[in-house]
Structure formats: C-alpha cells, structure tokens
A and B are shown apart, each in its own frame.
Chain A
Amino acid sequence: MSVLTLSFLICLSTGEKPTPEGTRLLAEHCLVCHSGEKPKGGLDLGVRQKALKGGLTGPALAPGDPKKSLLLEMVKKGEMPPKKPLDANSIGELEQWIKAGALYSQDPIDPFQFTTSKRAGRDWWSLQPLAPPPLPKINNRFWPLEPLDFFILKKLEAKGITPSPRAGWEKLLRRVSLNLTGLSPSIEQIQAFMMDPSPSAYANFVDRHLTSPQYGEKWARHWLDVVRYGESDGFERNNPRENSWPYRDWVIEALNRDMPYDEFCKMQIAGDAFRPGDANSLRATGFLVAGIHNTVLGTLPETKELARQDELEDLIGAVGQTFLGLTLNCGRCHDHKFDPFTQHDYYKLTATLGGFRPGNSPLPDPERESQIAQIQKELVQVELPLGQYTMQVATKAGLKPSSKLPRPLAAWDFTKGLKDLKGDLDISLEGGAKLTEGGLVLDGKTGLARTGKLTSPLGEKTLEAWVRLGSLDQKGGGVISVQSLDGSVFDSLVFGEQDAGQWMAGSNNFLRTKSFNGPKEKTNELVQVAITWRGNGEIQGFRNGQPYGKEYASKGQVVFSSGNSLITLGVRHFPSGGNRMLAGAVARARVFDRALSGEEIRVLYQAGGHEIPEALFSQFLTGDEQASRQGLLARQKELQGMRGEILARKSSVGYLPVSSPPASAYFLRRGQVSDPGEAVLPSSISTLTMMPKWLLDAQTPDGKRREQLARWITPKENPLFARVMVNRVWHYHFGAGIVDTPSDFGFNGGKATHPELLDYLAGQFQEHGYSLKWLHRTIVMSQTYAQASRAQAGALVKDAENRLLWRWSPKRLDAEVLRDTLLYVSNRLDQRMGGPGVSDYKTTFNNGTTFYDPVESSPEQTLRRSIYRFVPRGANPGAFDCFDCPDNSASAPRRTSTTTPQQALSLWNGAFTLNRALDLQQRTLEHCRINQQVGTAPQVQHLFRSLLLRKPGAMEEQHAVQLVETHGLTALARALLNSNEFLTVD
C-alpha cells in the first residue's frame, strides 16, 4: 500500500496523471526478463529510476522523447520482445506513454498487478468483487420461471437460438430425483405427483427430495470427490483408515441440515477451534487429513521433511482449490506461474496449516455418553436381580460364585462342551482342534475354533481365557480373538509375538499393539489371562487376576460390526496357518462387551471362571422366577444391543488432525527442503486485495491459525468463495459449470459462459444465507433446467456443446448413482444411514502391505448406498469403478465421462447386475400376484414402469413378452438395466 501511496504522491507533485497503459505494457511484455535480482542485459524495467538509468547498452527511456528512447527503438525494430513483437497499436500506446513522460502508474511495478497475455494479475476477473447485475432485458418474457432463466435466455436470444420445449413430466421427475437424491423415483412417488392437484405439485416434489436424507448422501459424494477423500493411506503400506468415516457422516448430516456454506467451510478448516470440545465440529476437520499420507519414511530427517512438505502441498492444494478455486499448491517452488500468488504467500499458508499431523483422536460426545450412561444405568437394574438369581441358585446348588460377577456377552466351558452359556455364539471346531476333559486342545498347526457371526457390534471389550500353553517358546499364537470375517481387522489375546514369552494384544498391522512389558510366562499350568480394550484406545492386560505389565494407549478402538465379525480361538486371525496358531489348551473363555475393571477381573479369577449351567436354573428356580429371569435376560440382551448400535454409529474415535505445539515454518528456496530461508509467520495472502490483512505471532496455536484462515476465506467480501460453490453446484446439475473448471478460477481455468449469471447467483446465494438447498431449488425450478434433451439441428450448429443451455444435455448416470439405483429399483437397497463403511473388497495383508481386491458378488451387508462403501486407495477396480470413478488420491472436481467396452462387460455379465435382474424378477412376480394380474404382459408392463417410468410401446411389449416367455423375466430385466434409456439422465 505504501508503494502505491508514494507513487500517487509523485503524480501529485508533477501534476501529471500516469496512465496505466505503458506500465501495463512493460509488465506484460518486458518484466519476465527485465526485472528481479538479475535482469537481462542489466536492464531493470520494474523500477522507473533503474529504467531511466538503463542497462549495458545505455538508458532505456528518455521521458518525453520517444525518439531517444532505446526501448522504443528496439520494440519498433521487432527485436524486443524477442519472438513475439508488439502489434502496431501497442507500439503506438508505448510511444504516447513515453511522450507523456514515461510515468509509472506503479513503481516499482508489481508483476502480479496486471493480467497479461501470459498470466493473471490481481485484476483477474474472478478476483474482483461480486457485481450482481440487474435481470437482463429479454424478448420472450413468458419463458422465464426463475431469475436465472433471464440470463440464459438473454444469451440464447442474442445467438438466435430458441430454447427447447419442456421435457415430459416423467423425464423431468426422473432428472430431478436422480440429481437431488441419486435415486430414480419410485412408481409411488410419480403417482403421488400425478395425484397432487396443487399448482405447486412440482415444487412439492422437489421439496420432498430436498428434505429426504438421500439428498445428503448424493451430494456428499460430490463433495468427497473434491476433497480427495479416501479410506487408506496410499504409498507403501496403504493401511486402511478405520476411523475416517465420521467425517463422511458429518458431510452427509451437514448437507441434510442445510448448514450454511460458510459454516460448512469453517467447520472443516477449524471446527476444533471454533467449537472446542464439540464432537460434531471435530468430525468436520477430517477434511484436513482426507488425503494420502506416507508412513514409511526411512531414517534421514531430510527425507521425512520432504514427505512432510509433499503433504503440505497436497493440503494447501485442497484448501485453495476447494474453497477458493485457486491452485495455491503451485507456489511451492516458485511464484505461481499463472495466478497472482507468490511463493511467499505459499509459505505463509504452510505456517497457517502446518500445525497438525493426521492421527486417531477421541471424539467426546456428551449426547453419546449420556445415552450410554442411561443404558448402563438400566443394565445395572437388570443385572442386579439377575445376580440375585445366580446367588440363589449357586447357594442351593452348593456353589460359591461372587455376586459381583460381571455378565459376559458369551462364555464357554470347554471342559463341558461347545455351547455358548450366555448367548448364541456356539463354537465349531476346525482342523486339528479337539474337545477333551481338559478343554479345547489346539495343535498349533491347523486347529482352531470359531463362532458364527456376531449379532451386535463389539467396540469396547474384554477377552478372557483360561489357558494352558503347549510350549513357552511359541511365537504369535492367538488364544482368543475378535476379527472381521476375512481376518483383515482383529484384536487378539496373543502369546509371544513381538515379545517372546509375553502376553500381548495382537492387532492388524500392529495398529493397536505395543508391549505390556510384562514378565515372561514361566508355567505350563492353567492360567487366567485377560485383556481389556477401552473406548478411548487404552489397552490393559491381566494375568491370574492381577494387572500384567503396564497398560498403554493405542490409536483408538475398532468397532467390530455385527454380521461381519466373529470370535475365534487358537488363531490370531484368519487365514489360519503359520505362527498365528496356538499350541495348548483352553479350558474356559469369555467375551465381555465392555472393558472390565481390575477388580472385576480379580473377582472372575477368584470364581475360577466357572459359569452356572443353565440346567441348574431350571432345577432350582420356580416357574415364575424363571419367567422373570428370562424377561430380564431378554432385556439385558436388548440393552447390550442398543449400546453396541450407538457405539457403532457414533464413533468415539475419528481419523483427524492432531495439533502439535506451535513451530516455525520456513521459506524454502526453490521448494528445496535442503535450502531453508527465513522463518515465516501465519498470515494472509496477497491474492485478494479486498480482503483484510492479518498476521499472527509464532506462539499462536494450530487451531487458532486455521480459525483465522477460515475467517478470512468465508466473508461475503471474498468473491471467490461464493462464486466457486455456486459454480460447483451448477456443474453437477448441468454436467458443466458456468466456468468449466470448477476448482480453478485462475488463468488456466475455463472462461465463464455467463459471468453475470455467476455473480447474480453468487450474490443471491449470500443473500439466502449461503443455503445450498435454496440454490438447488432455484436451479431445478427453473425453465432452463426443465428443457427437453432432444437435439435441434439449428442450435447444434451454433452451440454444439450446449454451453448456452438451449437444451438439457443428456448424461450417463455416475457410477454410484447407477449402483444405488440398480439396488433401489430391485428393492434391495439397504437404506440405513451412517456408521462404519461396508467393504466389498477382500483385504489381504501381504508382507507389511495391505491389498484390496473386489469380491465377485457383493455380500448382503454391503447393499447400502455407495457413499457407505469402504473406499481404499490403489485397490484393484471393482464392478462400477470403470464408470469413471476417479482415483481418490487426487481431487476430482469434475469426472470424465467415457464410454468403454469394459463398462458394457461389467454391466452385462457382472454378478451385481445379474443378481438385480433376479431380484427384479421376484419383485415383479410378487407385484403381479398381489394385484392378481395374470399373464406375461402385466409383468412386462410392471418392469418397464419400474425401470424406465413408462409403458412399453405396442411393438416393444410384443417383443418383450416373447423374450420373457422364452427366457424368463430376468432376460428382460437384464436388457432393460443395460439400456441407454435406463443409464441416461435425459
């Protein structure tokens, strides 16, 4: 600012007013070579005084005397600028400027001030304040329905293009439904619309979709594309991230609540600082760690620093592109080549954003805690009388258990049998496992025991076993484990894995494993061992009722989901074999769905691990007592299930930024970690001149730095913030944005087709409190949106790409929309929301690295919306990935849309489609049976209506009936599911 003021003063003193033309010409054509520390030929044109002094060949400018100005001479001869001489017009301007005194309108010239033919300056269109224009004048005043239609029509009229007629209702409803919720409308929804006599029937239809929870699930997918959300680390180990989904759920919930977009941004950049202690806002910061992260870095500090700087580049790119449409990552090694963003600006951002590392962090949630506490309270009330019954029976039977015995989820006495004495997790044996009087005998090679699938999720837990070791030098056998069905995720009570002779808590990739540093086991006698896993990640071991070694904190607990997990004995985790197998005997074992206290484990030890056989209860209790006890047991199970469900849906841990103490950031010359310059403080960047400047001191904690940045990005004065988001939403509705590079509003980005419309919408978006649902509504209620898709010859010639929107551009369903809609129309979509992802990958842990291969046929529990699918990086592609799913290692603000033979194969032969065809057959037959419709024709009609939302034509019906009668309904369903009509939003 001081520079500008100074030059202003200079003008005043000379009484002449410098025109910007000459300065602009110098900036545009000369300064690339003739400025900076080592200007070419010693001539620095960036500063007037130096230009007058000149370089090796003498003074360049003679103010007022163009003929004596060497610069003009060189330019006129075409020698300068080399390769690209100036046009006559520019030369004329230059001459005039020199004649008028060669005054600089800015001195020294800031090379980022002006846009040139090679780069954008601070005067670049997208960096200017919003200028919402009035509605333009148009001829056909009857066409527009929404203000935005005026802008579209204006351009069409100017081009002499007539907009397309409105699409038929079925088409329009399908379009709106697919675009807002990612699901095709059901027959019932269409009927409800047809029956709605109100003039606002369409508006009602739109509102029903905007308020449905499926809206958030659809639009969260778009957002996750932009923020490069993936659920594994990438790089060498590519470990799965089991706790990143709370961020995904937050995005869905925030969109469904229509959280104002400025808040949506603030929470993701600094939710922890804006609302300390609020788990909801904490989850939002998952944005900051959604990218790749290298966990294998060797020993050299420089290598580690390089990886760190790579990660910061990725993060700065994500923040800049997502919220500002600026590729700020390009400033790491040099000033941005195309946009007014300096390398110093870049390092200011590393100082602002570099204060955390990714990690698993607790998510304190008072609501969850109080719900759990409520359940625990009732559990105690249920367990008290249950304990009394146990006492009563024990006394009568002459046994002496303590009344303080905690209630297990499952318990087995292998000296008696394989039955679960508490629940329904009965045991079956595999390989060389035998049942003897001494208990379950395991051979250390192939023998193992396993239960069926868990029926409630297991997070916090205790595993307890009474075990006699076969040998004291075995390494790594699992006594009792809980694991995912494929064994890729597990917690296990292990003997002697990393620490020979010690008891340990084994886990996948050692993610939750540390040494207890307990004493080495010395006996082959029966010992009680137990491990407790707490919700906050603390893990503690016990032996014979006493704490074993030292407890430790792990990165956080894993919740083993119901239906996808089981308990095993004798093996650390699947697959069996190798050093995972235990040699020894297990007499008794128990699983608890909470972390027991040391006292409880001591009591268990004293009681000797015996459970009272169910038969004794029938023998010693009266009928009434038995009935009351059964009721209590049922309630106990219910409460345990509720608790499990809460733990599974509302994670107590998230993969989130973990703040480090404030540290200095340094400017890195040419981006080299080996060449650091001065320390840099967190501060504002120079790109947006209308935004206030700020500077924080070195002691400012991480969260406060990010909070300041978020406060700078989100105000209404920042024109990029609203423009970029309005354009994103537009892009997803119409298939192309007003600017067709949604994350790049810089020099290399696309040009706005309707700049006035962009500003109008951005302004209105702000007026409407940054409400995304308002934005959706105005778009889908518009006349522009409702146009038919059929191409018109005349318009095609004038605007083949339909950038002016004279029709609806037909587009293929996105991979996720296709998969979800296939499930939905075949009545198989599991619409439960939230929680840990469902994996349709086979996860293999091969020598330190995790590999992901798609399973051929999707298991039942994975038939949820695609947004809940586990999304690792570098996985081998599954059935729908070929439908243009982007590589989630990098941000994908727009997906490519390709048509390939692999897509055709996948949809034609893939198990997923075939299973849906079978489902559709069943569903159709059932529909016809219930409605007492006889014959093939009604079946055909029903299938057409369900999938294509229309009746078959007469010929179509005839052919379809013939197909069904020869090859069955699945043959027809398969064809319809593959048809262009089904695959296209038109």
Chain B
Amino acid sequence: MNPDRRMILQSASFSLAGVALSYLNSRIQGAPLPGIGTGKKARVKRIVQITLVGGLSHLDSFDYKPGLRSRHGKSFKSDKPPDIFFGQIGLLRQNDWEFRQRGKSGLWMSELFPAIAGLADNLTVIRSMVAESANHTPALFFENSGFGSNGFPALGSWISHGLGAENENLPVFVVLPDGRGEANGCASNWTSGFLPPGHQGVVLRAGKEPVRDLLRPESISKESDSASRDFLSRLNQENLQRSGFEKELVGRIRAHELAAKLQTSVPEVSSLAGETQETLELYGVDKDETRDCAQRCLLARRLLERGVRFVQIYSGGPIGGNPRSSWDAHENVKENHTVEAGKIDRPVAALLADLKRRGLLEDTLVLFTTEFGRTPFAQSAAGTVGAGRDHNKYGFSIWMAGAGLKAGFAFGQTDEIGWKAEENPVPWHDLHATILHLLGIDHEKLTYYHNGIQRRLTNVHGHIVEGILA
C-alpha cells in the first residue's frame, strides 16, 4: 500500500525543532505531492469554473443543429425509453435562439450569450459531452467528483491535495455559491470526502466576515486579544520544550500564525473597493440583474491573482421551485434561459476578457460547465411541441478557455438533432483527466488510499482528450 505521504509526515516525529519546521512548512504550504506529475510542464496554474446548475440547453447555445430546425414538430423515435427525468416525450422542438458564426474562427454560437459570443475566438467548445446520470444531484456530483453520490472529494479538493497552496495566506479551493442559495447537495459538492478536511472548498460569504470566525469578536479589545495571544504563545513554547519539540505542537503554533495572516488577507481579497469604475461596469456590478454574478466573477479574478488554485462559481441555486432558480428549464426554455443567461453572460465574458488583458489567461483555465444538456424533443404530451425540455445525459456542450487549448475550436459532435454524442464522446472522467493533465498531474497517479482502494478522481476510467490540446 501507498499511504498518503502527508499522513506519514503528520504521524512522524522529529527530534529537532528545525527538522520539524521544515517538514511542516512543506505540509501547510503544500508543496506538490511527489510522483504525480505527467513529466511535462504544467500549462495551467489555476482554474475558475462556472458551474451552471440545472442543465443548460446545448441546442439553444453552443450546438447548432439545422437538422432539428427542419424537423420541428416531427416525432422523436427511439427504440427504447430514453433515460430522461419526467419521461414525457413531446415532438421535436427547434432552437429558440438564432445561431450564427462568430469571430475569425467562425464558431457557431446562438444569441443566448451575446457577450460571451463576442469572445468566441478564445473558446474551446466540447459538443460531445456525455453524463452518467440524467438526475440532477448525482449528475452534479459526477461533474464535481467523478462519482454519483455524496462523500467523494471534489475536483478542487483533489487539486488542493495534489498541488497544495500557492499562497498560504488564502484557501486553495474557494466556492462562490449563487446568491439565491446553494445547489442541491450543498457542501457535498465541495467536500474533501475522505481526503483530509483541510482540502475542502471554502465558501466565501458576502459581508464583513467572509470566512467563519475570521475576525476578533467585538466583545474583545485589541489589547486583550494580543495579551492573550502573547500568553498563549509563551505557554505553547514552554510546552513544546517539555514535549521534546513535538512536531504536531509546532504545527499548531504555526497554524495560529497563519490564522493571523488570514485575518488580513481574506478581507483584503474580498473587498472590491480597490477596483476601478471601469472594471466594476465591465463585470456588471452596477446592474441589478448581473450584480450577484458580477461580484463573484470579480472576486474570482482577485482570488486567482493572489494564487488561489481553484475557484468555483455557481450559476443557479436549488433545483425545485416556481419560478425556478436554476437552468432547469422543464417548463419553458425561452423564459428560463433568458433570465439565467441575463444574469451571467456579461460577468462571465468580463471575467474572461479581464483575465486576458491582465495576462492571466496564459496559465489560467476557465471552465463553463453544466451537469447535462436538454432534450431535442419538448417535454410535453405526446404529439405536442411544449415550451420546455427535459434532461439529456446523452449529449451536451461545455466550453473551456485558456492555457494549453486550441482556441476558437469546437470538438466532437452530436447526432443530427443533438440527442446523442456521436463523434468523440467525452465523459466527465475524460474531462477531469484532461484538466489534471493541464495542471501537470497524471490522473492515474493522483491517488489516496480509502477503505481498500487507492481512490482517484477518475475512478478506474479517464482518457486525456488530446483533440483539444494545443
């Protein structure tokens, strides 16, 4: 067996405080684990993922299907009942948004995301994604962790485990949920699972205290706080000597020092006060419709700039409800997607543009993903063309942008009506393997022992999608 290196370090002891400190630093700062590399230079240092909850209609956004338009109102044929969700199969429904070719690359994109479409030459669209499940929460868990149930470490946690921190004064993995609420599964979406809990995603909240217990409570004066701190440090020093310089004790002393640094670094990064008016407007912080997403996209850029490795921005809260607060357009795609896209199009485009003009896109990866797509047939009674679409796990689109990728490029194809991925299907495990590859990590080597198995993000699967790499 190959127990986790850091666990060994944690249980090991060292006779000299100096030795202990050097090992400890490597743990807290988190130097990359040895032996997980691809042998090639990492193209990507940090990642921002915009996660659309509920299922974006690829047919109305990134996957142009003239064949669907010509078959509007025709019946959908399938030899066995498709694995959708509600099981209602109406007639085929054409796209609700017009498509046209964009930029120099001529990438086909609809009018749904006009601002993002303006940056088409930067995008790498995968039009042949396939999901394991057509059920929201398992599908979202798959997207995040490669497994369909609660309890498996998220992509960001694996990256934290593998690469550690670039900036020890900030968390490695930050999550920014939609202002309307967290997605179903809540913290299970950014759990560290069986990895040490320090790797789990940290949710930065709005307001004065973005992280729980970050600041000195108001009831305690600054003087009292520092006097207690001094006393504590003296107590700990004496205790350390008595213990024979126990490694773990050194660790906790150091954790207190780091905590003190977090108290200044987190509020600094979380405040948008230093941003120019031009930037605020670029993201759409000034508009009610876009404010929530704009603030989070801007915050994401600030975090990435300061060395946070993985920021996940959610678009969409819980699945249920009326009106919906996610992309789950069962009732009416036109209405639902208009509202949802209106919230994020401008902020996401701004983030991409801002990263680019600051040179960050050179070694940053932007991911724009959704748990599955939507059906080419309407979700309505047989023989009718309703306004909504059901879940489609057989084929859907996502896009990526940034380091190491062919830009202005579309990969893979679905069939004529956009129902199933036909050419180069890409399951999540492959995308995960590719993301790790870009980070310089071999997905088969980034493992952690848990209850009998060397667990991996990619389970026993995963092929690098060579076709999208530059």
Chain A residues close to B by CB (< 8 Å): 234-238, 292, 294, 296-300, 302-303, 310, 314, 317, 321, 326-327, 330, 338-339, 735-736, 740-741, 743-744, 746, 748-750, 789-793, 796-797, 800-802, 809-812, 844, 846-849, 851-852, 854, 873-877, 879, 881-882, 884-887, 889-893, 896-906, 908-911, 914, 953, 956, 959-960, 963, 966-968, 971-972, 974-976, 978-981, 983-984, 986
Closest to B450 in A: A890
Give Cα A67–Cα B75 distance, bound, in whole angstroms.
71
16 A-B interface contacts by CB (under 8 A): A235-B150, A735-B11, A749-B1, A789-B246, A801-B12, A809-B11, A812-B248, A848-B318, A876-B182, A879-B212, A887-B192, A890-B194, A900-B198, A900-B255, A975-B232, A981-B236
Is B207 an interface residue when CB atoms closer than 8 A count as contact? no
A296 close to B137 (CB less than 8 A): yes
**In whole Å, how far is B222's beta carbon from the nearest beta carbon of chain A?**
11
Partner of A877, one of B1, B10, B187: B187
**In whole Å, how far is A432's beta carbon from the nearest beta carbon of chain B?**
26
**In whole Å, how far is A534's beta carbon from the nearest beta carbon of chain B?**
30
Contacts of A298 in B (CB 8 A): 83-87, 134-135
Within 8 A of A (CB), among B91-110: none
Closest to B137 in A: A236
Within 8 A of A (CB), among B254-282: 254-256, 258-259, 261-263
Contacts of A236 in B (CB 8 A): 135-137, 184-185, 319
B11 close to A848 (CB less than 8 A): no
A959 close to B138 (CB less than 8 A): no
Q: Which of B182, B192, B203 lies at the interface centre, i.e. has the most chain A CB atoms within 10 A of its CB?
A: B182
Give Cα A978–Cα B453 distance, bound, in whole angstroms.
37
Contacts of B255 in A (CB 8 A): 899-901, 903-904
Supply 14 further A-B pairs (C-beta < 8 A) apart from A300-B84, A317-B451, A956-B235: A235-B137, A236-B184, A294-B149, A741-B449, A744-B451, A847-B324, A874-B188, A874-B191, A891-B451, A896-B195, A899-B251, A901-B262, A902-B198, A976-B235
Give Cα A802–Cα B246 distance, bound, in whole angstroms.
13
**In whole Å, how far is B393's beta carbon from the nearest beta carbon of chain A?**
10
**Given known A736-B11, A983-B252, contact A791–B84 (CB-CB < 8 A):** no
Contacts of B359 in A (CB 8 A): none
Within 8 A of A (CB), among B286-324: 317-321, 324
**In whole Å, how far is B436's beta carbon from the nearest beta carbon of chain A?**
22
Is B39 an interface residue when CB atoms closer than 8 A count as contact? no
Contacts of B254 in A (CB 8 A): 899
Partner of B224, one of A812, A886, A898, A967: A967
A886 close to B194 (CB less than 8 A): yes
Is B81 an interface residue when CB atoms closer than 8 A count as contact? yes
Contacts of B259 in A (CB 8 A): 901-902, 904-905, 908
Indicate with 1 or 0, residue by residue over B189-200, a CB within 8 angstroms of chain A CB atoms: 101111111101
Is B181 an interface residue when CB atoms closer than 8 A count as contact? yes
Is B238 an interface residue when CB atoms closer than 8 A count as contact? yes
Contacts of A896 in B (CB 8 A): 7, 10, 195-197
**In whole Å, how far is B315's beta carbon from the nearest beta carbon of chain A?**
16
Give Cα A740–Cα B127 distance, bound, in whole angstroms.
46
Q: Interface residues of B, CB < 8 Å — how many?
A: 102
**In whole Å, how far is A119's beta carbon from the nearest beta carbon of chain B?**
12
**In whole Å, how far is B164's beta carbon from the nearest beta carbon of chain A?**
13
Is B223 an interface residue when CB atoms closer than 8 A count as contact? yes
Contacts of B383 in A (CB 8 A): none
Within 8 A of A (CB), among B111-139: 133-138
Contacts of B324 in A (CB 8 A): 847
Q: Which of B85, B151, B185, B242 lies at the interface centre, i.e. has the most chain A CB atoms within 10 A of its CB?
A: B151
Give Cα A529–Cα B102 distance, bound, in whole angstroms.
65
A882 close to B197 (CB less than 8 A): yes
Indicate with 1 or 0, residue by residue over B20-39, a CB within 8 angstroms of chain A CB atoms: 00000000100000000000
Which of B44-52, B64-72, B213-221, B341-349 touches A? B213-221
Give Cα A797–Cα B13 distance, bound, in whole angstroms.
10
Contacts of B256 in A (CB 8 A): 901, 904, 908, 978
Give Cα A846–Cα B228 distance, bound, in whole angstroms.
42
Closest to B235 in A: A979
Q: Which of A310, A848, A849, A854 lies at the interface centre, i.e. has the most chain B CB atoms within 10 A of its CB?
A: A849
Give Cα A895–Cα B242 distance, bound, in whole angstroms.
27
B231 close to A292 (CB less than 8 A): no
A327 close to B235 (CB less than 8 A): no
Give Cα A914–Cα B219 distance, bound, in whole angstroms.
9
Contacts of A953 in B (CB 8 A): 238
Chain B residues close to A by CB (< 8 Å): 1, 3, 7-8, 10-15, 28, 81-87, 133-138, 148-152, 181-182, 184-189, 191-198, 200, 202-203, 211-217, 219-221, 223-224, 227-229, 231-232, 234-236, 238-240, 242-246, 248-249, 251-256, 258-259, 261-263, 317-321, 324-325, 449-454
A904 close to B325 (CB less than 8 A): no
Contacts of B251 in A (CB 8 A): 899
Give Cα A844–Cα B449 distance, bound, in whole angstroms.
35
Count A/B pairs, Cβ under 8 Å: 318
**In whole Å, how far is A508's beta carbon from the nearest beta carbon of chain B?**
15
Partner of B451, one of A844, A893, A966: A893
Q: Which of A296, A852, A980 lies at the interface centre, i.e. has the most chain B CB atoms within 10 A of its CB?
A: A980
Contacts of A983 in B (CB 8 A): 252
A905 close to B12 (CB less than 8 A): no
Contacts of A914 in B (CB 8 A): 217, 219-220
**In whole Å, how far is B190's beta carbon from the nearest beta carbon of chain A?**
10
Give Cα A321–Cα B194 distance, bound, in whole angstroms.
15
Contacts of A297 in B (CB 8 A): 135
B149 close to A911 (CB less than 8 A): no
**In whole Å, how far is A655's beta carbon from the nearest beta carbon of chain B?**
17
A330 close to B188 (CB less than 8 A): no
Give Cα A879–Cα B213 distance, bound, in whole angstroms.
8
Give Cα A903–Cα B8 distance, bound, in whole angstroms.
21
Give Cα A292–Cα B141 distance, bound, in whole angstroms.
14
A810 close to B188 (CB less than 8 A): no
B223 close to A906 (CB less than 8 A): no
**In whole Å, how far is B81's beta carbon from the nearest beta carbon of chain A?**
6
Contacts of A877 in B (CB 8 A): 187, 200, 212
- Top 9 nearest A-B pairs (CB, nearest first) are A848-B320, A327-B452, A847-B321, A889-B151, A889-B150, A299-B87, A890-B151, A874-B188, A847-B320
Give Cα A221–Cα B219 distance, bound, in whole angstroms.
34
Partner of A743, one of B136, B214, B451: B451
B253 close to A234 (CB less than 8 A): no
Give Cα A147–Cα B316 distance, bound, in whole angstroms.
62
Give Cα A854–Cα B189 distance, bound, in whole angstroms.
17
Contacts of B262 in A (CB 8 A): 901, 905
Give Cα A302–Cα B134 distance, bound, in whole angstroms.
12
Contacts of A959 in B (CB 8 A): 231, 234
Contacts of B87 in A (CB 8 A): 298-300
B246 close to A810 (CB less than 8 A): yes
Contacts of B216 in A (CB 8 A): 909
Contacts of B192 in A (CB 8 A): 887
B231 close to A975 (CB less than 8 A): yes
Give Cα A744–Cα B188 distance, bound, in whole angstroms.
25
**In whole Å, how far is B113's beta carbon from the nearest beta carbon of chain A?**
25
Closest to B8 in A: A801
B252 close to A238 (CB less than 8 A): no
Contacts of B234 in A (CB 8 A): 956, 959
Contacts of B7 in A (CB 8 A): 896
**In whole Å, how far is A625's beta carbon from the nearest beta carbon of chain B?**
55
Give Cα A291–Cα B238 distance, bound, in whole angstroms.
45
A887 close to B214 (CB less than 8 A): no
Contacts of A897 in B (CB 8 A): 10-11, 248
Give Cα A628–Cα B434 distance, bound, in whole angstroms.
83
**In whole Å, how far is B455's beta carbon from the nearest beta carbon of chain A?**
10
Q: Which of B229, B239, B245, B252 lies at the interface centre, i.e. has the most chain A CB atoms within 10 A of its CB?
A: B252
Contacts of A237 in B (CB 8 A): 184
Give Cα A310–Cα B397 distance, bound, in whole angstroms.
27
A887 close to B151 (CB less than 8 A): yes
